[in-house]
Structure 1
Amino acid sequence: MTFVQIIDCKTDRVDDMNRLLDKWVEQTHGKRTATHATVATDRADKHHVIEIVEFPSYEEAMRQSNLPETNRIFEEMVALCDMPPTFTDLDVVRDEQLNKMVCRRFFDVISTGEFDALEQVLDSGYREFDPNNEEQNTSIDMARAEVQMYHAAFSDFRFTLDDQIAEGDKVCNRWTWTGTHTGEFIGIAPTKRKVTMTGTTIHRLENGMIQEAWWSYDFLGALRQIGAVDMPQG
């Protein structure tokens, strides 16, 4: 279970507090168990400072607390504060990264062929960048048409999400695509062969909708599997 510690203090030395966090990161390199640290100031009181530190578990947090480097940094932190800082220890019971959910919904939609549902996840100004396409998709209709083309060419068409990483307004999705070549594809007659393709799509979201997409995938490998190209055997 993810564990979060909130450190609450009052200080007029916010810049020094930031430098102290930099020092802590440097000194605990290779030993640190924290995965995410945030320092924030209260908009209503600029001297009210909150530090939020995330760990994989309570046990990992305690392991880091016992590091001599952590103890030294804490002593310096206390010296910067107007009064001793307070601590709140939290076990995370729900952690939803909403942009990830939108992207999962996108891949579900294009896998199931619920094309009308694309408007639920793609912004009206959606556009994408694909090195394998000479003409980039610059609308929902163009994206829908391309997915329909794949569905017509491959039965059992499905994306499986292997990994997702979210930061800020972007989500990186690593996926595996599978299908059976039962229809004509870019002029290639059906081969009835099973095809597997791996790739990565980076989505940028705004207001809970996908604005842009950058695609990178093994298109050449898919063509080789249906016999469209010959690859030298090494």
Structure 2
Amino acid sequence: MSATEVARNKETLRRFHDAVSTGDAEVIARTIDEVVDPDVLIGTPLPIEAKGAQALKEVFAVLHRAFPDLHIEIEDVIAEGDRVVTRNTVTGTHQGKYMGLAPTGKSITYKEILIARFADGRVAETWAVVDVLAQMRQLGAIPS
């Protein structure tokens, strides 16, 4: 993979995160359609039945209903070959039901790492590690 392709893939993943941070469902869906393969393989267990790009749209719809001001700050971007990794800090205010929890109004901050494999300039596979324990502690669902 050329340096140009690697740089393009890094920029594509940044564009994806920027779209998610807008909170605009249309922008998010359009960006997913543009940068994610419709049959993307998602290597992270998700509590939804949808697959592929549709699953990503549903995940972010759920997150934005719970945290309308959800924001992803990219801390690091590392790329090699067909893979791009981002280390992110995610923030938001709990204003809607989330994982069975009624809105608390609490602001949360948690970390995540996303690995994306690219094929033909689009995200073809993802793996994410999300600090759900930090989320649940900050929302009061789990004692600190």
For the aligned pair, the TM-score class normalised by the smaller chain equals 0.7 to 0.9
Q: Which letter maps to 1:100?
A: K
Contact 2:19–2:31 (CA under 8 A) maintained in structure 1: yes
Instruction: Answer yes or no: is 1:199 the counterpart of 2:94.
Output: no
SS of 1:97's equivalent in the other structure is: helix
- Equivalent in the alignment of 1:228: 141
SS of 1:156's equivalent in the other structure is: coil
Relative to structure 1, the CA distance from residue 136 to residue 177 in structure 2 (aligned partners, 3 Å threshold; closer, same or farther) is farther
Contact 1:129–1:137 (CA under 8 A) maintained in structure 2: no
Name the % identity: 33
- The alignment's C-alpha RMSD in Å is 1.8
1:177-206 Cα offsets, whole Å, 9 max, x none, are: 000001111111111000101010000001
Instruction: Answer yes or no: is 1:99 the counterpart of 2:14.
Output: no
SS of 1:146's equivalent in the other structure is: helix
TM-score normalised by structure 2 residue count: 0.87
- Equivalent in the alignment of 1:167: 80
Q: Which has the higher contact order (CA 8 A, sep 6+)?
A: 2
1:134 Cα deviation after fit: 5.1
- Equivalent in the alignment of 1:118: 32
- Equivalent in the alignment of 1:140: 53
- Equivalent in the alignment of 1:130: 44
SS of 1:230's equivalent in the other structure is: coil
Contact 2:67–2:94 (CA under 8 A) maintained in structure 1: yes
Relative to structure 1, the CA distance from residue 197 to residue 136 in structure 2 (aligned partners, 3 Å threshold; closer, same or farther) is farther
- Equivalent in the alignment of 1:46: none
Structure-1 separation of matches of 2:70 and 2:126: 20
Contact 1:199–1:217 (CA under 8 A) maintained in structure 2: yes
Q: How many residues matched?
A: 136
Relative to structure 1, the CA distance from residue 186 to residue 134 in structure 2 (aligned partners, 3 Å threshold; closer, same or farther) is closer
Q: Which letter maps to 2:17?
A: F
1:97-128 Cα offsets, whole Å, 9 max, x none, are: 11100100111122213222211110121121
TM-score normalised by structure 1 residue count: 0.55
Could you say which structure has the larger radius of gyration? 1
SS of 2:87's equivalent in the other structure is: strand
Structure-2 separation of matches of 1:200 and 1:106: 14
Q: Which letter maps to 1:215?
A: A
Structure 1: any 5+ residue segments left out of the alignment?
1-93
- Equivalent in the alignment of 1:210: 123
